[in-house]
Amino acid sequence: MRRKLAAGNWKMNGLRASLKELEKLKDEHPDPGCDILICPPATLLAPAVDMCWSSPLFVGGQTCHHKLAGPHTGDISAEMLRDVGATAVILGHSERRADHGETSEEVRLLAQAAQEVGLTTIICVGESEFQREATNTLDIIGGQLSLSIPDGSNGENLVVAYEPVWAIGTGQVPTADQIGEVHDFMRDRLENRFGYGVGKSVRLLYGGSVKASNADEIFAISNVDGALVGGASLKAADFAPIITALENA
């Protein structure tokens, strides 16, 4: 049985004052029926970990470098994330792929580095609007899955997030059939590559304009084990009802 996961990606948002949202989330969900992960910007990782210590909230990073240490100004290694108390890291988000030219092959190297130090890797895949219109969504997703996910992945160290690029921050959400088609396809691919048991154990998240108002419908779709939430994870008042919807799904 896969434990559901509500993950919040704060992206490049949040100052120290924003950490009060974590206190509110802890108050709202003292004993959650799903995992809750918050991925704040790197500047807030240490205080967020301190604040979430011995609470049900987990803290994660938004990317990492593939090397353990060295002359890479501005970068953060997976070991540093682990050392500060993060338990997970988002990798290959479409904004990283677009802004920093990350390829799927590079994402796999980052994921290997993160898995080696014991982090759970949330690997993001998703098609652009152009690719969807050209009706090759499953080819794109299949290619990203094959190239981005390292061998040796399993239900403990891998989570996959399906995030159609055209749905991120736009308010546009795919239909339930569209989400279901991709999630079923991803499940098949994982089972084929890693074997039925392992493939079945990997959690699959949907991400892209998830809100309290559409969460029930999204969480009812087969093979949707949770969400990777951007904008609606910044305020506890918006994120808490999404978590509740997941608990009730």
> What is the binding site for ligand G3H (CB under 6 A)?
9, 93, 163, 168-169, 207-210, 228-232
Q: Nearest-CB residue to ligand G3H?
A: 230
> Residue 142, annotated ligand binder?
no
> Residue 101, annotated ligand binder?
no
> Residue 230, annotated ligand binder?
yes
> Residue 231, annotated ligand binder?
yes
Catalytic position from the list 93, 102, 106, 127: 93
Nearer to ligand G3H by Cβ, of 168 and 190: the residue is 168
Counting Cα atoms < 13 Å in the Cβ hemisphere of 7 gives 34
> Residue 195, annotated ligand binder?
no
- Which phi and psi angles does 74 have, rounded to 5°? 90, -10
Shortest CB 68 distance to ligand G3H, Å: 26
Shortest CB 167 distance to ligand G3H, Å: 6
Q: What is the SS3 string spanning the chain?
A: CCCCEEEEECCCCCCHHHHHHHHHHHHHCCCCCCEEEEECCHHHHHHHHHHHCCCCEEEEECCCECCCCCCCCCCCEHHHHHHHCCCEEEECCHHHHHHCCCCHHHHHHHHHHHHHCCCEEEEEECCCHHHHHCCCHHHHHHHHHHHHCCCCCCCCCEEEEECCHHHCCCCCCCCHHHHHHHHHHHHHHHHHHHCHHHHHHCEEEECCCCCHHHHHHHHCCCCCCEEEECHHHCCHHHHHHHHHHHHHC
Catalytic position from the list 21, 95, 127, 163: 163
Shortest CB 161 distance to ligand G3H, Å: 7
Shortest CB 208 distance to ligand G3H, Å: 5
Catalytic-residue membership of 163 = yes
Annotated binding site for substrate: 9-11, 169, 209, 230-231
Active site residues: 93, 163
